[in-house]
Structure 1
Amino acid sequence: MKRAPLAVCAASLLSLTALTACGGGSGSEPAADKPKATASPADRETPAERLAKLMITEADVPGTEVKPPSKQDEKYLFAKSPGDVTTDKPACTPLALAMNQLALDGSRADLTHHIPENRRFTYITLMTYDTPDKAKSAFAGLSEGVGACGGGFTAKARVATAYDSVTAEKPVARGGDESLAFRATTPFRGITHTVHAQAVRSDDVVAVYFAADGMAMIQDRPGDAKLPAAVVKAQNAKLG
């Protein structure tokens, strides 16, 4: 499934300039003697449909606006697909993908929605995999990146962005089978901004949360947007 575009003015870490823009009948055999009916291909739930059901809505977090992407946002994308992203340290590529709402390696489908709060943006990206083991592998790559990229790295696609540091931190809300969290710093117009990310794996689904303060970038002041615990808890609970 093609990844959904980001919101206008979205806090896409690899495209920071976007932040400054804006029954049978009679005579039938008894049911017990019949073979079980199987769903036709058309009736089976696709990976994309499954993710749409798993994504939180405003009903899950009352008072919080959860917005899907729109077509007009595509011009703000850093990359249309994960394959368009390169880094100077390959181990750091999963981090770059996670902080730009791009699917981690091997996913069958992915879906991103965002929560705008005065240009402080929280993104939720859900990914589904063929098997739990493949989801574990993708999650492990992200975990390894946090450990290997503490000294920073540079990512490139439509633009290049430097990260000065990556630091592991405590998840705002644990969930699923495994969780991790990290923060990263990046300079923008000579000012250091801190962004936060968290990932959760639940069976064959991986969720990535990302938060950045777009208003701080517009106002040329340091930004440090935190992930909203209520949102993370609600999405974790929906994943099971």
Structure 2
Amino acid sequence: MNSGIRARAARRVATAALAVALAAGTATACEEEPRGGGDGKAADASAPPSAAAGKGTAPTPSGSAAPPAAEPPSRGRTLTGAELAEAALATGDVPGYEVTPLQGGDEPGTEKADEPACAPLAAVINGTPEPAAAATVYRTAVDFEEEGQATQTVVTLILTSHRGGGARQVIASLRTAVDTCGGGFTTRGAGSVSAYSDVRTLPAPPAGDESLAYQVTGAVTGAKVPLVFHVVRRGASVVTFYTANFVDARTPEVPAELIRAQTAKLP
């Protein structure tokens, strides 16, 4: 399987079966064709990003939460790695969530899209949004109140800062890729081939200067696995929220409160 961001974050995914399935830290949502399909390690976690799967419910335009509070103007400058880490969510920022550094976050995936137009989508799956960031910080947010549930919410956050117009370009290139690659795409890396399908835009809650939400459907041993990404730009910084559903084919949800809280912390 792709060794990108998908499963390394699932260290907290809850049931014993899930813990075992994700223990290898490679719970991706793609089928490795050269090896005759997925190895089944991505068993589940209806909890979010990176290996956990989100709650198996379809997202709404703004979630069920109240409208977000107005955000102060962004300073618009490129943050250093230390500043980005300071701006990342921490345990206590959002009630009910434990936030920790993403295990293996310094080892991004290496998948390359066969279709150049789909390269931005593959880059995000790898945990390295393009254009290349000046600094990157990875975090995992887990709903500890759902501990032990197969649908425990686990979300991976990728915070990146960019020089020049890089942050705007991240969003723009993803919008184009989602429109262009709606029929799916394939990636190759480390001797494996991953197939993705059903690339489509999702409603995105208002956040930052601009935001985009989309779903990419992968497969594990023939079963469809929806991956959901919410990408938010604030000034020269971008936050990518990732979640997946390894339990069933329903679209998982990135909790709106996480998006609002993280965006508000960016200077």
TM-score for both structures, normalised by structure 2: 0.66
Post-superposition CA distance 1:162-190 (Å, at most 9, x none) = 1111001111x221111111112122112
- Count of aligned pairs: 202
Contact 2:184 2:199 in 1 (8 A): yes
| Deviation digits for residues 70-125 of structure 1 (CA, Å, limit 9, x no counterpart) | 35x87xx662xxxx331111111111222332232221111111124556531110
Letter paired with 2:82: E
Structure 1 residue ranges without an equivalent (≥5): 23-44
Deviation at 1:20, TM superposition (A): 4.6
Task: Specify the structure having the higher radius of gyration (Cα).
Answer: 1
Tell me the distance in 1 between the aligned counterparts of 2:155 and 2:201: 19
**Partners of 1:100 and 1:211 in 2: how far apart?**
13
Partner of residue 227 from structure 1, selected from 254, 258, 264: 254
Measured against aligned partners, the alpha-carbon deviations of 1:41-74 in whole angstroms (never above 9, x if no partner) come to xxxx971101101111122102101121235x87
Structure 2 unaligned blocks of 5 or more = 12-21, 32-37, 45-50, 52-77, 144-148
Instruction: Tell me how large the CA RMSD over aligned residues is.
Output: 2.9
* Structure 1: distance between partners of 2:103 and 2:226: 26
| Alignment partner of 1:238 is 2:265 | yes
8 Å CA contact 1:183, 1:196 repeated in 2:
yes
CA distance in 2, matches of 1:204, 1:129: 5
Which structure exhibits the higher relative contact order, with contacts defined as CA atoms closer than 8 Å and separated by 6 or more residues? 2
Q: Distance in 1 between matches of 2:198 and 2:223?
A: 14
Shift, 1:223, TM fit: 4.9
The residue aligned with 2:58 is: none
The residue identity in structure 2 corresponding to 1:101 is: G
Say if 2:138 is the partner of 1:105. no
Q: Which has the higher helix share?
A: 1
